[in-house]
Amino acid sequence: MSIKKRIIKTLKKHIYNVNVQYEEWLKSEALNINESYIDGRHYSSNIERQARFTADISRRKDIVIENILNKKRYTFNDALFIINPFKYSPLSGLLIFNTDTPCKVKYTVKGIRGSNDYTNCDETWTDRHQVPVLGMYDGTLNIIRYSLIDENGNETLSQTIRIKLPRTGPLLRSCISISKFKPSDSPFLIATGGYSGVDYAFDSHGNIRWYLTMPVHPYGVHLLSNGHMLVPDRRMRRPNYGNAHSVFAYEMDFLGRIHRNIFHKSGFHHWAISKENDGNILIATSSRYDTYMENAIDEIDKNTGKVIRSLNANELFDSTYVTRYDWAHINSFEYIPEEDAIIASYRNIHTIAKIDMQRKELIWILSNPVFYEKTKQAEKVLKPDVNIKWFFQQHGVKILERTNEGNVKKIRIALFDNHTANRRPVDYFDNVKKSNIMVFTIDETNMTVKMDKYIPVPLSITRSNVEFDKENNCIYAMCANIKDDEVDCRAKIMGFDYSTNECITDISCTNDYFITKFMDFNLKSIKSTITEDISICAGELYAPVLVTEGLPEKFDTEKYLTDEFKKDLHFNLYGNILQILCKDHNVLKIFLYNDKHTYIQYFDDTKQHTKIFKEHVYTLSIPLTNLEKGKYNIGIEYYNSDSETDSKNGLFNTIYWIEIK
């Protein structure tokens, strides 16, 4: 070791009391590993921008960590601490060391800025320790005490370290203001999605304790039952009839490790959950080829990512209200494993519906019967109690309780009534400018419904959800997008005693969001490195099609894109995927061709219906896995509706090629 490196190491030990490294060091070590985690083929190109899959880099980092443990380089008293090891979770760290005998590790982050100490325990019984340290503070020295726990639960050794982390960005600084707060059993709240572009967790004193730097779609991250998150990437989409949804999502843990990329042809939008019985993932998507958006729910296999079955709202309801491309607008759902049924919120028809997934049939509909009296679904509508109030363009349906009393089956649900009707005007809308928490008990045997609770909250015109803390008997309105003139903030979290309706929690947020949930970090789901031989990619993207007729007759291989296109089109090779950053619906086709084969990727199978979405810029993805080996030139069919001349429209060759070996 050089004198300079020794001095740097000594300074680090003096400041941190531990051996500290950063993500950049871990990544440089990872890129020296020769393993290939794509598809066994080699891809080269003259495209300037090239990158590995993020999941590929995470896998290589895991091998580096395993090698460190194999060499037993670090001990309990001389441990390694990697700050933000997987790049996307800046307030995280990984503590690495070996012990002579197996034990567990517990750590405590000393509370500051009014917050209490935070303690978590890695329950894994091992002598090879890689402990995720989460819940730290930004912009300060974090005092962290970690200790070994023996088989009897006794603490045998302890060590205190100091870790300094950088400040958060300006959007997260002082973004939470708490006027009152009743503690919950969960130490943190996670706010995710929205158009502010931040996804973060904070504690009961408004201190940010975790945040994500991955560019996430405005619908936010989705928490899965295995302790991971499904994180749709807002950059990587495909043209649709309206809003182009993410076709890339990452299965990620809270340390920022990307376990795998998950692809979906039609894209992810508002909601995703894990099925409790088998772990498969239910996602909100679009039927797409019938020109409709945000109207479908797909079940994807937890291992392969392939679609097992799909539930299309157009096949459940008649055509009475199919008057726009996003006529249904699914925004949330819950799954009942014992019945293989879901309860879904259809925002643009003011409807909550229970559906049998196996038979693909409506079981019941919760909505004003007047809305359905002239439809074929009228007999499925629950008969309401006389004192019931109605919801409009609701979000966040949640099952609170299911009971069987004798031969009567009941279910209690909560929802966030946004109480706006601009997407689906109805005569019975009361124009009251307040949103509401609403709770209903549904008698599924007798097909009736009564309203249990109705709590007005500030008007939040879109997004939002309801949470229920059963242990503390509190119900929460997560007002995500406030448009209330009396409220001087962008979003609110309001908790109410369920028995008295007394407001016991009032939190103001300067950033909007999609939903907020209570949470804690499950170290067991985060800890394990991924070195087993499993694919880093799951699911499917629309792929290029091999055509026998070759290039179009009008395609002139000598007509190249000029420099004026450079500001409109940006090419990238991402793993085994060709990507093009461009404006919505401007790229119609991509040609990959040589003397033997011509493949065409079609992007002209949809049309944009909404002017605002036409202005969106995002990345198109062309998977190369089904192409025969060889060297391919890249051509393009381009149409810019804003161009006043034809010089930027038509068929063009590019200077780029891709070779597959």
Handedness of CA 216, 219, 223, 224 (dihedral sign): negative
| pLDDT of res. 525 | 87
The 8-class DSSP code of residue 148 comes to E
| pLDDT of res. 142 | 97
Q: How far apart are CA 547 and CA 555, in angstroms?
A: 15
Average pLDDT rounded to a whole number, residues 503-532: 90
The torsion defined by the Cα of 593, 598, 603 and 604, in degrees rounded to 10, comes to 120
Q: Which residue has the tokens 């040589």?
A: 594
In CATH, the number for domain 541-660 is: 2.60.40
Average pLDDT rounded to a whole number, residues 535-549: 95
pLDDT tens, 395-412? Answer: 999 999 999 988 899 999
Handedness of CA 285, 289, 293, 295 (dihedral sign): negative
Q: Give, in order, the Cα–Cα distances in Å from 387 to each of 67, 384, 391, 454, 660.
A: 66, 8, 13, 11, 68
Q: Which residues have a Cβ under 8 Å from the Cβ of 408 and sit 6 or more positions away? A: 443, 445, 446
User: What order do you get walking across the sheet with 296-300 strand by strand?
Assistant: 272-274, 281-285, 296-300, 307-312
The burial of 612, by beta-carbon neighbours within 10 Å (0-12 exposed, 13-18 middle, 19 or more buried), is given as: exposed
The burial of 28, by beta-carbon neighbours within 10 Å (0-12 exposed, 13-18 middle, 19 or more buried), is given as: exposed
Q: Give, in order, the Cα–Cα distances in Å from 345 to each of 125, 127, 288, 294.
A: 43, 48, 19, 11
Q: Which two tokens stand for residue 91?
A: 């307030």
Count the residues in the chain: 661
| pLDDT of res. 5 | 60
| pLDDT of res. 643 | 56
pLDDT tens, 349-394? Answer: 999 999 999 999 999 999 999 999 999 999 999 999 999 999 999 9
| pLDDT of res. 9 | 58
pLDDT tens, 439-488? Answer: 999 999 999 999 999 999 999 999 999 999 999 999 999 999 999 999 99
* Domain boundaries, given as residue ranges, for the chain: 3-32+72-164, 176-526, 541-660
In CATH, the number for domain 176-526 is: 2.130.10.10
Q: How far apart are CA 385 and CA 400, in angstroms?
A: 20
The 8-class DSSP code of residue 463 comes to -
Q: pTM of the predicted model, to two decimals? A: 0.94
pLDDT class for 291, splitting at 50, 70, 90? confident
pLDDT tens, 616-660? Answer: 999 999 999 999 999 999 999 998 766 555 556 899 999 999 999
Average pLDDT taken over every residue of the chain: 94
The 3 state secondary structure assigned to 115-144 is CCCEEEEEEEEEEEEEEEECCCCCCCEEEE
pLDDT tens, 487-496? Answer: 999 999 999 9
Q: Contact, 468 vs 388, CB < 8 A?
A: no
Percent of the chain with pLDDT over 90: 87
Average pLDDT rounded to a whole number, residues 72-83: 97
Q: How far apart are CA 362 and CA 34, in angstroms?
A: 53
3-32+72-164 against 541-660: fold identical = yes
Measure CA 629 to chain center.
Answer: 35
> For the CA atoms of the chain, what is the radius of gyration?
27
Given this structure, which CATH class describes domain 3-32+72-164?
mainly beta
| 530 has pLDDT over 80 | no
Q: Contact, 551 vs 598, CB < 8 A?
A: yes
Average pLDDT rounded to a whole number, residues 9-25: 78
Q: Which residues have a Cβ under 8 Å from the Cβ of 261 and sit 6 or more positions away? A: 53, 54, 55, 248, 249, 250, 536, 537, 538
Q: Which residues have a Cβ under 8 Å from the Cβ of 32 and sit 6 or more positions away? A: none
